[in-house]
Structure 1
């Protein structure tokens, strides 16, 4: 398959068709920010803890209007035709909306890891001659510090975050550029609509920079047709994927694994709830004690993972089992062995009535770590150990 729907050969066409087909369904979700606090560990180190509320949603129809307005706003700002825009931010709903907005003006998008250092950032932006840089507000200080090294930048667009303001030093360092919030550009586009300039499938959609783990990052050029074909292929592999599914998005969109996964969710009419690796579960590092992590709040049915995440879940469960000890540890051990035997085909009875018994006694608590409703995990990015794969099969059902 080359396309999931007839005629949708580009990311722009795919987005428009998805938003039309699923207009009333929920699409992009972000957690409400309630507050944050700083805790001090016994060794004196300080840790920021977040209190996050329920997910707040944009429908597919609302997302399309937002991306369309952002595209018009870019045109009104005077983004240079033929030059790319860059997104330098952690994954969030605005990332995806800005991404799709760029395509409606046939603007190629340079994606850069939010964790990249100054040298790698300068290299990526200068090599691609980016004229518009889109980032989250906490990256503004980093950009201001390297402003004298960036020759082609003309516009900065930032995603607003509660509790983070643009200070005067940062503003002065960026005084030669037009600096606007995402909401301001969207409002500008709403007031001055611009006709779309749609791409062809052979046009470059993304110039995706690597992590730079072996020298300077390398920019990989990916066409619209390539990403569309990837989404078409994945939809044939995931059984019964559709609008009843919820996808937990926490991996970096600057990596093609997460990007392809989210495009596949969009094609299928799924909802995408954004989180982060540091707020994923109720016991994650940045979650305030006694409040819900992203998985508990969203209750996803689908997620992508890298082996390190699944290894972390496995190690956490086994540590908890050892701490509980006694009968709980014995029950876990027996249930695990019976389920393993069933998977390996040596004892089919474990998939009968007893299977439900072990779920109720042991594995329901393990599944609740990722919200309790996960049906498929797609793992990639590195080799997954056989032990962790089996553990996930058994404990997550």
Structure 2
């Protein structure tokens, strides 16, 4: 698997080969302000600086082939320089997501026994303040500058503070010969997101990453020295790490955003990337804003877009991406949102619906490759072909590994199933990790004796041998007198509803059905408050949290924080010892509430478009956001979520919307005393008026919508039922009731992992009251 990389076997060899071949080619780019151009570091300079950084780390006492180096920062040029320094001198890199709170990063620091951390300046105060809980930490190397007042505090706690420039300069003055790693040496410990508890440190070797890159190239996903990549997804995630490694191997350029996601598209317009990667959560936001802009532009614009979309969709089925007339009239304007030079788009990390895949291909007129993999593979295990224009699958295995399906009889999946073989997806090959760091629990169910890695995902192979992920073996629960249920599978189905932005499905072994917590889509939430939909076009910037119904301080969200009782309760539920309480005056830090620097779905904004006068949108008074299956004049976009085990793999048909009240005006409120528990009744009827819910707390607001707007709940439930049935969900998998909440699940409130997956153990605690009320109403009605 190294033949396509010129015989290189390690990341250091790959970087060195590019330095020799492209010494003066631009490599790492950064931008200082919104008015400045990108400045570049060439390959030769980057190599010299990496060696200097490595020598500086050795002078601090680190030992090659033994010590770990922590890296706690948003994406920036220095991130890659540190990585290359670690590769040259055989240090093991331990990256942290920039959004991690103390509870998460302290666990990683203590488990890996880190002595040295390189970090952003804003991380330094907490690392010093709570160093008592980090007994192995000795040295903090910070980027840029820090307040001088931190130096005495660090000295008093026996923490050595060094600036990044000091370390690099010290290495420049005394160069030490490089100590290259072997292919099987661990280059990085990448921690999983910790969906069900503490994260696991996946051991990634040089061979793993080099093999995966070679596999992608042999698959047909090639990079070239003229390519430019915009780095904004967290480098702590193997997806971004794999792409940056591929760029380095081919002498391509990597430009970094300025660390603020709200300014991302301004950076994109300046950089003009040719390769763009993203995740479905962000594509959903882009789609929503595009549809809002089209609806706000009026019926004529919406009709033109619908006609153009259908025309290009017909060409897409024939493998053609461009249409001379419609591209010049409509889609080139949208293409400019990514700088206008993108030649290939990659998406991964989560399933993407068929309508969204078609939307991206049509609007940007380029191939879109979808990948599937896990940290253990790492990143890419399967990819769709570059020429693929169909949707609903994640492609075929890369040449660098083997794949097989095995029976899962307890869930009714067998490899002899017809027409598609189904079972748990397993991988084996040089790119697959060999295990977890310092993990004391049995892993026989993860890596078997023959070297197969068991993903826990249920897949199906169609007639073309494309893999579809249809279910999840882990995270399952059993209902009363029912089969095993996979909540993630159900959530992915319901997310295709235009009403729903986020969904958390829960089931109890003593209950006959499952229930769901639903976060409404932003457009629908605005209608419910009586506010007009935004009449702004795509160029209108949004707030930091575009999904929040309000920014009123009275709506303070609940946090699962490590310094409150819920955290102790969480540790007890997971069977952990919460330990003694902190001493007086030396308490653990509160949960961070500031928005993370890295992108999350609730921080997605779009820049002004580069348009000409012929295609400039016309400002028209706002129109109402339409019912759930698309703006006026546009065709409904069907979901292509995986079919259930009882359905045949065919092209999905759009769910038929049920008749009901239109959503162009706020729905009337009615009070039904028969279904409203006494403790939730109000002395006087609540009349719906614009922004009336601002008077309530978040929990009261949920009750307000749940019990006083039965039309709303019934419409959403009916839509969820139609979608569920059209996607083949069994009667047990259809949720029986929902709780509507304005609280978006985010990394900050503890409900999402840094990779934007639901932290199910925390969500269960967070929504315990709502879930209890839903089941209580069920028992009353029954």
Q: TM-score range by the shorter chain?
A: 0.7 to 0.9
Q: CA deviation at 1:212?
A: 2.7
Q: What residue is the counterpart of 1:299 in the other structure?
A: 272
TM-score by length of 1: 0.86
Aligned to 1:53: 36
Q: What do the CA deviations read for 1:143-198 (whole angstroms, capped 9, x no partner)?
A: 123211112222211121xxx63351465146512211222111111111111111
In structure 2, relative to structure 1, the CA distance for the partners of 1:53 and 1:214 (3 Å cut) is farther
Asked if residue 172 in structure 1 is aligned to residue 153 in structure 2, the reply is: yes
Asked if 1:320 is matched to 2:288, the reply is no
Q: Distance in 1 between matches of 2:81 and 2:100?
A: 22
Which residue is 1:194 aligned to? 176
**1:261 corresponds to which residue?**
243
Aligned partner of residue 90 in structure 1, secondary structure:
coil
Q: How does 1:90-109 map to 2 (within 5 A)?
A: 90-109=74-93
SS at match of 1:57: strand
How far 1:339 sits from its partner (Å)? 0.5
Q: Does the aligned pair in 2 maintain the 1:68–1:101 contact within 8 Å? A: yes
User: What is the alpha-carbon distance in structure 2 between the residues aligned to residue 391 and residue 62 of structure 1?
Assistant: 41
Q: Which has the larger radius of gyration?
A: 2
Query: Deviation per CA, 1:174-228, whole angstroms, max 9, x where unpaired?
Result: 6512211222111111111111111101111000112233212211111111111
Q: For CA contacts below 8 A with separation 6 or more, give which structure has more relative contact order.
A: 1
For residues 8 and 87 of structure 2, the distance between their equivalents in structure 1, rounded to whole angstroms, comes to: 13
Deviation per residue, 1:96-145 (Å, 9 max, x gap)? 11011012211111111111111211110111111210111121122123
Tell me, in whole angstroms, the C-alpha distance in 1 between the residues paired with 2:124 and 2:27: 28
| Structure with a larger share of its residues in helix | 1
Match of 2:8 in 1: 8
CA contact (8 A) 1:122 1:146 kept: no
SS at match of 1:293: helix
Aligned twin of 1:368: 336
Partner residue of 1:126 out of 110, 122, 130: 110
- Asked if 1:85 corresponds to 2:69, the answer is yes
- With over 3 angstroms needed to count, the CA separation of the structure-2 counterparts of 1:257 and 1:239, relative to structure 1, is closer
Contact kept? 2:154, 2:161, Cα under 8 Å: no
Shift of 1:59: 0.6
Deviations 1:7-53 (A, max 9, x none): 421111111111211111111111123xxxxxxxxxxxxxxxxx452
The 3-state SS of whatever aligns with 1:373 is: coil
Q: How far apart, CA to CA, are the structure 2 residues paired with 1:136 and 1:278? A: 14
CA distance in 1, matches of 2:314, 2:148: 61
Mapped contact 1:251–1:277 kept (Cα < 8 A): no
CA contact (8 A) 1:137 1:166 kept: no
1:42 alignment counterpart: none
- Residue among 184, 208, 223 paired with 2:166: 184
CA distance in 2, matches of 1:170, 1:238: 52
Contact kept? 1:144, 1:170, Cα under 8 Å: no
Residue 243 (structure 1) aligned with residue 225 (structure 2)? yes
Distance between the aligned counterparts of 1:341 and 1:242, measured in 2? 31
Question: Secondary structure of 1:198's partner?
Answer: coil
Confirm or deny: 8 A CA contact 2:2 2:8 kept in the other structure: no
Unaligned runs of 5+ in 1: 34-50, 280-284
Q: Which moved more, 1:131-140 or 1:239-248?
A: 239-248
2:308 corresponds to which residue? 335
Match of 1:344 in 2: 317
Name which of structure 1's ranges 136-145 and 243-252 shifts more when overlaid on structure 2. Answer: 136-145
Q: Between Structure 1 and Structure 2, which shows a larger proportion of strand residues?
A: 1
Match of 1:54, SS?
Answer: coil
1:233 to 1:166, Cα distance in 2 relative to 1, 3 A: farther
Task: For residue 286 of structure 1, report the CA deviation from its aligned partner.
Answer: 4.5
Match of residue 17 from structure 1: 17
Deviations 1:45-89 (A, max 9, x none): xxxxxx452211101111111101101111112224512111111
1:156 & 1:4 partners in 2: Cα distance? 39
Q: In structure 2, do the counterparts of structure 1 residues 6 and 286 end up closer, same or farther at CA, with 3 Å as the change threshold?
A: closer
Whether contact under 8 Å (1:83, 1:129) holds in the other structure is: no
Output the CA distance in 2 between the equivalents of 1:95 and 1:16.
17
Equivalent of residue 136 in structure 1, options 120, 123, 148: 120
Runs of 4+ in 1 over 4 A off after TM superposition: none
- What value does the CA root-mean-square deviation take over the aligned residues? 2.0
Residue 190 of structure 2: SS of its match in structure 1? Answer: strand
Preserved contact between residue 30 and residue 76 of structure 2 (Cα < 8 Å): yes
Counterpart CA distance in 1 for 2:321 and 2:141 is: 54
CA distance in 1, matches of 2:39, 2:298: 40
Match of 1:282 in 2: none
**Cα distance in 1 between the residues matched to 2:165 and 2:219:** 37
**C-alpha distance in structure 1 between counterparts of 2:226 and 2:263, whole Å:** 29
Separation in structure 2 between the aligned mates of residue 277 and residue 196 of structure 1, nearest angstrom: 32
Change (3 A) 1:52 1:142: farther
Distance 1:311 1:303 in 2: 16
Q: Give me the whole-angstrom Cα distance separating, in 1, the residues matched to 2:46 and 2:17.
A: 12
Alignment of 1:31 onto 2:31: yes
Matched, 1:207 2:189: yes
Shifted more, 168-177 versus 14-23: the winner is 168-177
Q: 2:352 corresponds to which residue?
A: 384
**CA distance in structure 1 between the aligned counterparts of 2:258 and 2:344, rounded to whole angstroms:** 19
Change (3 A) 1:93 1:80: same
Q: 1:195 to 1:119 in 2, by over 3 A?
A: same
Displacement after TM superposition at 1:300 (Å):
0.6
- Contact 1:30-1:55 at 8 Å conserved across structures: yes
1:279-290 residue pairs with structure 2 within 5 A?
Answer: 279=261, 285-286=262-263
Aligned length: 363
Deviations 1:334-359 (A, max 9, x none): 111111122124xx9x878xx11111
